[in-house]
Amino acid sequence: MQQFEPAQIQAVLDQIQATDWDDITEQLHQHGFAKIERVLSQQQCELLKHAYSQAVLYRKTVEMQRYRFGRGEYKYFNYPLPNLIERIRHEVYPYLVPIANAWFRVLKLERVFPSSHPEFLQQCQKHGQMLATPLILKYGQGGFNTLHQDLYGEVYFPLQLVIVLSQPNIDFTGGELVFTQQNPRAQSKAVVVQPQQGDMLIFTTQFKPEKGSQGYYRVNIKHGVSPIHHGERYSLGIIFHDAVS
């Protein structure tokens, strides 16, 4: 695909920098997810959707039905990433590091995340995780994604991003993001979210801490996509850790 113009990238970075990150932090602590509206323009979303057909950009294609992951297809980008995706990955990461370190600290997990994303990728590389994980997912009518967690090796970052590239109720219907929260010794709780085209959703990769009477405990969270009723739904997933395979 053509690289994005510097002015286009700067507009996205300005939007990220103008975000109320204190509010985002509070939402992540409370709910395990938070939304930033209109991070990408319609034009940028359309360019990324168009890039789905350019095979040279990708290292791996997964047919979801084959592995019982759902119904649809996704493709992992290869390095080097498209410049817009690389900049978003590097620029958002430092805002999330304090949250990640706070979660690991209160849950007494032995990992400290470095302040910059390139430093974190070096940690991944030391554990054999060297393959890019950002991806584009495509669902047609009847497509869906089963509840899951995006872990690709021993090293993982506890937060990730998704940007919806299609417009709900115009390009597709259905296709809501679904989160399930499993508290110890309790029934699962489900939450449904429908971001608009260009919105960025930040959410937990595996768990978030919850404070109880005996201190903090882990609440496991999975995510998926409900069935598409009509049309096609594209989304861009940005995961901060790299993969073994």
Q: Please, what are the domains in the chain?
A: 6-239 (2.60.120.620)
Q: From CA 34, how far away is CA 104, in angstroms rounded?
A: 19
pLDDT at 213: 86
Q: Of 66, 61, 226, 32, which is closest to residue 146 (Cα–Cα)?
A: 226
**Mean per-residue pLDDT, 156-172:** 99
**Digit-coded pLDDT (tens) for 112-145:** 999 999 999 999 999 999 999 999 999 999 999 9
**Digit-coded pLDDT (tens) for 86-114:** 999 999 999 999 999 999 999 999 999 99
Average pLDDT for the chain = 96
pLDDT at 192: 98
Number of neighbours of residue 29 by Cβ within 10 angstroms: 16
**Mean per-residue pLDDT, 30-35:** 97
In sequence order, what E strands does 3-104 have?
33-36, 58-63, 70-71, 73-77
**Mean per-residue pLDDT, 192-221:** 96
Which run of H or of E encompasses 103? helix 83-106
Is it the case that residue 185 has pLDDT exceeding 80? Answer: no
pLDDT at 53: 96
Amino acid at 31: H
Is it the case that residue 1 has pLDDT exceeding 80? Answer: no
pLDDT at 188: 87
The pLDDT > 70 percentage for the chain reads 99
Is it the case that residue 2 has pLDDT exceeding 80? Answer: no
Q: From CA 71, how far away is CA 84, in angstroms rounded?
A: 28
**Digit-coded pLDDT (tens) for 208-220:** 999 998 899 999 9
